[in-house]
Amino acid sequence: MRTFLMVFFVVLGQWLFGQNQVLSDQEQEVYNVIVKLFDGMRAGDSTMVHEVFSDDVRMYTCFKDKNGEIQIQQGDLNAFLNAVGSPHEEMWDERIWNTKVDVEMGVAQIWTEYAFYIGETFSHCGIDAFQLIKEEDWKIIHLMDTRIKDNCDKTK
């Protein structure tokens, strides 16, 4: 019983720390870039979304095809912006959690779990991996996401 309680409190402490990560001012600046991206997507505002990306951004998506083979597909910023800014009836809502932010010398990365919803309907989940650089403002220079349709942890 004593061992169980010790393990329980250690795991609880780690879980609470992970949920309440305190960010430095610089880490918060970087995190805010991602928040702005997702707020822009929810608003259907391609101008707002465009502001967070470097003109040289590289975008990739990783998914399994119908045969279960892993595929990596390169994205295009202009196509993404057109999709975000084109009228659609339901909001695009990307919800994130377990976000880790690292920053050093004008370079940053964010790794976060996500679930994507169209309106209230679940679409897919996975991991978003961002790399950013400090230009005048922080800009996303690389984005890779995984897309999973089944067995998603979408509790957040």
Q: Give tens-digit pLDDT for 24-41.
A: 999 999 999 999 999 999
Quote the domain boundaries for residue 78.
23-147
In a domain, 38, yes or no: yes
pLDDT for residue 152: 82
Q: What is the pTM of this model?
A: 0.83
In a domain, 14, yes or no: no
In a domain, 13, yes or no: no
What strands, in cross-sheet order, belong to the sheet with 70-74? 70-74, 53-64, 138-147, 121-134, 107-118, 92-104
pLDDT for residue 97: 95
Query: Has residue 2 got a pLDDT over 60?
Result: no
Query: Has residue 65 got a pLDDT over 90?
Result: yes
- Domains in the chain, number: 1
In a domain, 84, yes or no: yes
CATH number at residue 72: 3.10.450.50
In a domain, 28, yes or no: yes
Reported as a single tens digit per residue, the pLDDT across 128-140 is: 999 999 989 999 9
In a domain, 134, yes or no: yes
Q: What is the DSSP letter of 136?
A: S
